[in-house]
């Protein structure tokens, strides 16, 4: 779906006004080095990134969720809103168990509350985009104390299980592709499922790299810390905004020739990546292999330059 297909995408005068405002804001930012994160948008995953589960119990939970969803689809028909209604009621039982056993197998990622609070205070909209039901996700955020730092939760439409990235960016005012790419970052741990593929254009030289910047964090194993707590996120976003004159994608492009980038507390790789399972899509801008400065160990580089 293209941004222009939306009926509320704005007329010529509106686009002209926004274009002039954005141009002068960009020039001012590049000349002064100032950063304005107000109205920026973070689309962020929850499971294994914000909400961290003990692996064995998570596997059991996911299996039971899939089994329940399939059962309700057989009962009510695929795509029926009744599937979601039944699934939400079923999840109430699951949540009661999670609430009782929270300390045993559910926690938040290191640095997540502080990082998201910084972003909220800076005017950033932190939007969780999930395949799960919104009431269940909200309650899990309540359990670990993250709810005050989440602006919104986008769950699938009734009867569906796909993530609503396009709805999230449009509803939050990013009505045109250039505005979305300037103001939006995607944050996840799984490129297959956490990237907003509906915001990535078709493969082609003119489209190369024209997608929201994806910031890839390691999965946080329940009983082991990693080198990239979420407090790296505000630092990386400020760095990109400063480099790009408050334009995330322009900031990314300004450092694409550097194999390893270092900020005050972190370093990371910058790559344009062609996903082998999405040969129909343009290469996407990725920040990955995030490491705290001075940290040892870690994985080998996850994505080579394509």
Mean pLDDT over all residues of the chain?
Answer: 84
**CATH number, span 35-52+106-292:** 3.40.50.1000
CA atoms within 13 A on the CB side of 87: 33
In this model, does residue 126 exceed pLDDT 90?
Answer: yes
Token couple for 226: 């990693």
In this model, does residue 41 exceed pLDDT 70?
Answer: yes
Interatomic CA distance for residues 181 and 184, integer angstroms: 6
Interatomic CA distance for residues 169 and 41, integer angstroms: 8
Over the stretch 110-125, which tens digit does the pLDDT of each residue have?
889 999 999 999 999 9
Interatomic CA distance for residues 232 and 5, integer angstroms: 36
Interatomic CA distance for residues 93 and 89, integer angstroms: 7
Residues 52, 53, 54, 55, CA torsion sign: negative
Banded model confidence at residue 65, pLDDT cuts 50, 70, 90: confident
Banded model confidence at residue 22, pLDDT cuts 50, 70, 90: very low
277 CB contacts (<8 Å, ≥6 apart)? Answer: 192
Interatomic CA distance for residues 95 and 80, integer angstroms: 23
Instruction: Give, as one character, the DSSP assignment of residue 231.
Output: T
Instruction: Name the residue ranges covered by the structural domains of the chain.
Output: 35-52+106-292
Whole-number Cα distances in Å, 172 to 127, 177, 196, 225, 285: 10, 13, 15, 33, 22
């Amino acid at each position: 779906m293209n941004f222009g297909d939306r009926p509320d995408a704005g007329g010529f005068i509106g686009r002209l006004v926004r274009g002039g405002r954005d141009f002068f804001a960009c020039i001012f930012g590049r000349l002064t080095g100032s950063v304005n994160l107000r109205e920026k948008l973070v689309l962020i995953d929850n499971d294994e990134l914000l909400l961290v589960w003990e692996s064995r119990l998570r596997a059991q939970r996911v299996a039971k969720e899939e089994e329940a969803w399939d059962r309700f689809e057989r009962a009510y028909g695929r795509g029926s809103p009744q599937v979601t209604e039944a699934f939400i009621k079923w999840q109430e039982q699951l949540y009661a168990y999670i609430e009782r056993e929270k300390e045993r197998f559910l926690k938040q990622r290191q640095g997540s509350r502080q990082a998201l609070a910084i972003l909220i205070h800076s005017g950033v909209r932190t939007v969780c985009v999930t395949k799960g039901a919104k009431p269940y996700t909200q309650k899990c955020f309540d359990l670990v104390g993250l709810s005050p730092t989440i602006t919104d939760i986008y769950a699938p439409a009734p009867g569906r299980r796909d993530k609503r990235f396009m709805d999230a960016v449009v509803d939050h005012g990013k009505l045109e592709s250039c505005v979305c790419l300037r103001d939006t970052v995607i944050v996840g741990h799984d490129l297959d499922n956490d990237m907003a593929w509906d915001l990535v254009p078709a493969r082609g030289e003119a489209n190369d790299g024209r997608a929201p910047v994806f910031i890839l964090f390691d999965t946080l194993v329940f009983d082991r810390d990693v080198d990239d707590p979420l407090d790296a996120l505000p630092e990386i976003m400020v760095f990109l905004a400063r480099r790009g004159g408050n334009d995330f994608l322009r900031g990314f492009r300004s450092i694409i020739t550097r194999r390893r980038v270092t900020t005050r507390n972190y370093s990371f790789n910058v790559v344009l990546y062609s996903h082998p399972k999405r040969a129909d899509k343009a290469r996407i801008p990725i920040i990955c292999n995030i490491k705290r400065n001075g940290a040892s160990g870690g994985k080998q580089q996850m994505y080579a330059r394509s």
